[in-house]
Structures are given as structure tokens and as C-alpha cells.
Amino acid sequence: MSELAPASPALEQAGALVPKTVSLWQVFLQFLIIGATSFGGAVPYLRRALVVKLQWLDDKQFVEMLSISQSLPGLNATNMAILLGDKLRGPLGAFAAIVAICLPGGLYMFFAGVFYRIHGDHGWVTDALKGIAAASVGLILATVVQLAKRSLSDHFDLVFIGLTVLAINLLHLSVPVTLISVGLLAILWHHPRTAPAEGLGAPEELEK
Amino acid sequence: MTQIPDLIRVFSYLSLLTVGGGMAAFPEMKIQIVDIHRWLTFPQLIHFYSVGQMAPGPNMMMIIPVGDWAAGPLGAVVVVIAFFGPTALLTFAIGRLWKHLESWPWRQSIQRGLAPVSVGLLLAGCFTIAKGSIFGVATAAIAVGVLMILLQYKINPALLVLGGAVVGYLSL
């Protein structure tokens, strides 16, 4: 929360922000750097580089893009790359941004896969992997808690969370069936009349 | 080579299920990759996902070794295009339409309605992955430990996953 709020220099000059001309190469390079250094979630790195350091866009624009990214299918990191790239340099910028942000991690995982194929059944690798997998479960649970805290609008939302888990883990319904049926219910529950004017808690995502 | 059409089908389908994050598609990913096409065993899929948590950038790059194993380097490339292409095009289109959608009253209803469902999908994905990775006290302790630390302190999660590797190596 605090990371976004008043301390940001970019926010103070939001009104005075002049649209800069950014070359396609600069877009590619920045997203490549972020793709190579953003361990543990790309969004805070994107904001730090593009909003705070380079001032290619202001916080308001960034947060709006984040809220679009979160409500569409796709990963936040790649959706943000598309929206930011398009804003900075049009369709080619979007293409350069998503390729660049995926490239370093993609190469890393390619070689991790090759290594795993050769050494994956060695005792010490298996033990380390078990530890990694268990830690990942903790990490996902923490994400569940943080996401629930900032993105839910009322307590009744817990029912939709419960229904989703029930449908998938107990009734073994497929993800699309669950997504469409529970999603539709939840959207109808939040139909326009009941929705208060205040926005989603998107900015807090930045803190992650 | 013969796996390429299946890889395209499966990963472009999974692409559209990643509402709220890659984990949302995990239960379906397990069914497609492990049960139906047998490109990987369940433990291998979990290992790839988990190792992927220590990679920089978008956190589903673990699909790359899946494609590579199923059909070689070409499979890896195909999988990336199939998995990121559909959502990239959708996001591009909606991003351009967004200004016009601003006054549409259902927009916020959709955002509010999808929020709990994406949390639910994330949790469901978590349970699926837990079934294959929490076996006893030691692994449960690692998971709970990571959860507590992350909720309590601001620390880079990738470091904790790395810590899990060390603890696993020393104690499992």
C-alpha cells in the first residue's frame, strides 16, 4: 500500500508528465531487464522502472492498466507488458514488451528442464525439489490471503470462493465450467445496482 | 513432432483459464498434461511449477520444459506462443476498448464478481498442488513456515522457495 501512495515522485508530477518518445529498442531493453531481474513477481519491478525511474507513464495510468490486467485471463506480468508496450510504442511495442519480459525466465526454465532431465532422479535433487514444492504451496497460500484481503468487496464473496474450491477439488468439475457458472453467479450478485462507486483495491498489488 | 497439434490445443485452452493468475489453470493443467497426454508425471509437473517460482519474469515459464520434453525445442516455442498468444491478443483488444467500457455499468460488476472466483481458483490450484507435495510433517512445516513468514514480513518469495530447497536438501 505504502509503496504507491504519496511518497511516489511520479504521482506528484502526474499532471506535468509530458508524453515521451520511447524507441522500440528502449521498450525491448527495459522489459528484458525486468524479465531478467524480477524474482518473485514482475509488477512491482515494472512500476519501479517505468513509473518511478523512467517516468514513461504516471501512477494513475499504471494502476488502471493493472486493474484491466487483473480482470482478464492471462498472467499479470504478460498482460501488463502488452498494455504498457502498446501505450509506449503501439502494437510493435506490445510485441517487443511481451517477448522481452518472457525471454530471460523462459531460457532459465528451458535449461532447468534440461538439467532436470539429466539429474532429476539424483537423491539430493529430489530432496531439494520436495522442499521447493512444499515452499511453493506456502507461497500460493500467502498469495490467496493477500489477494483475498485486497480484492474482495464483501463477506458474501467468501461463499463464491468456497463454491469454486468445492466445484474443482470435490466435485471435480473442470476449470472452465466452474469459472463460467460461479463467475456468472458472482457477477449477478454484484450487479450494477448494488455496486458502490469506490474502486477495486488494485493499487495494493504493487506492494507484493 | 506428432505432439505439436496437441500442445497447441492444450496450451491455448489453458491460456484462457488463467483468470487471476497462472495457478487458476493448474487443476486443468494437471488433467491435460499428466492424465490425458502423459507428457509428464504429476511429481514432475509439480517440480517444474515449483522451480518456476524461482525464475524471474512471468511465473508460468515452467510450460517451456513441458513443451521441450513433449516435442523438443520446437515444442517449447509452440507452447509459449499457444499459452501467451490468445490472452495477449485479448488483452491488447480490451486495452484499446477500455475507455469505451468505462461508462458501462456491468464493467465493475464483472471485476467484482471475478475477484472471489479468481481467489477460489487460486486456492483450488493450491489444493491440487498440495496433494502432490505435502506428504508429512516436514513438508507441511515448510509450507506453513513460508506462509507465516510471507504474511508477517516483506521478503522476496523467490528467496523463501530457495530456502525450501535448502531445508529439503538438509532434512528430507
Is A110 in contact with B65 (Cβ distance < 8 A)? yes
The confidence band for B2, taking pLDDT boundaries of 50, 70 and 90, is confident
Rounded distance, CA B141 to CA A46, Å? 33
ipTM of the complex: 0.90
Rounded distance, CA A57 to CA A87, Å? 9
Helix axes A175-189, B106-131, angle to 10 degrees: 140
Average pLDDT over residues B13-37: 94
Q: Which amino acid is at A85?
A: G
Q: What's the pLDDT at A19? A: 59
pLDDT at residue A9 tops 50: no
Determine which of A144, A152, A175 to mutate to test the interface with B (most B C-beta atoms within 10 Å).
Answer: A175
Give the contacts of A121 (CB within 8 A, at least 6 positions apart): none
Rounded distance, CA A140 to CA A145, Å? 9
Instruction: Let me know how many helices (H) and strands (E) chain A has, helices first.
Output: 8, 0
Is A147 in contact with B166 (Cβ distance < 8 A)? no
Give the nearest chain B residue to A167 (CA atoms). Answer: B124
The confidence band for A177, taking pLDDT boundaries of 50, 70 and 90, is very high
pLDDT tens digit sequence for B143-166: 999 999 999 998 898 899 999 999
Q: Which amino acid is at A1?
A: M
Closest CA to B63 of B90, B26, B36: B26
- What kind and span of H or E run contains A206? none
β-strand partners of B19: A73
pLDDT tens digit sequence for A103-132: 999 999 999 999 999 988 888 888 999 999
Q: What's the pLDDT at A150? A: 82
Give the nearest chain B residue to A85 (CA atoms). Answer: B92
pLDDT at residue A206 tops 80: no
Spell out a b/e string for A185-198, using b for 16 or more CB atoms within 10 Å of the CB, else e.
bbbebbeeeebeee
Average pLDDT over residues B38-56: 93
Q: What's the pLDDT at B45? A: 95
Per residue, what are the HEC states of B62-112?
A: CHHHHHHHHHHHHHHHHHHHHHHHHHHHHHHHHHHHHHHHCCCCHHHHHHH
pLDDT tens digit sequence for B65-77: 999 999 999 999 9
* A104 at interface of B, judged by CB pairs closer than 8 A: yes
Phi and psi (nearest 5°) for B37?
-95, -15
Residues of chain A in contact with residue B124, where contact means CB-CB under 8 angstroms, are 164-165, 167-169, 178
Per residue, what are the HEC states of B9-38?
A: HHHHHHHCCCECCHHHHHHHHHHHHHHHCC
Give the contacts of B80 (CB within 8 A, at least 6 positions apart): A102, A106, B63, B64, B67
pLDDT tens digit sequence for A31-69: 999 999 998 888 889 999 999 999 999 998 898 898 889
Is B120 in contact with A161 (Cβ distance < 8 A)? yes
Q: Are the C-beta atoms of B107 and A72 separated by less than 8 Å?
A: no
Is A108 in contact with B55 (Cβ distance < 8 A)? yes
* B147 at interface of A, judged by CB pairs closer than 8 A: yes
* B88 at interface of A, judged by CB pairs closer than 8 A: yes
Average pLDDT over residues B120-147: 94
Rounded distance, CA B28 to CA B10, Å? 10
pLDDT at residue B58 tops 80: yes
Q: What's the pLDDT at B1? A: 59
β-strand partners of A39: B56
Give the contacts of B89 (CB within 8 A, at least 6 positions apart): none
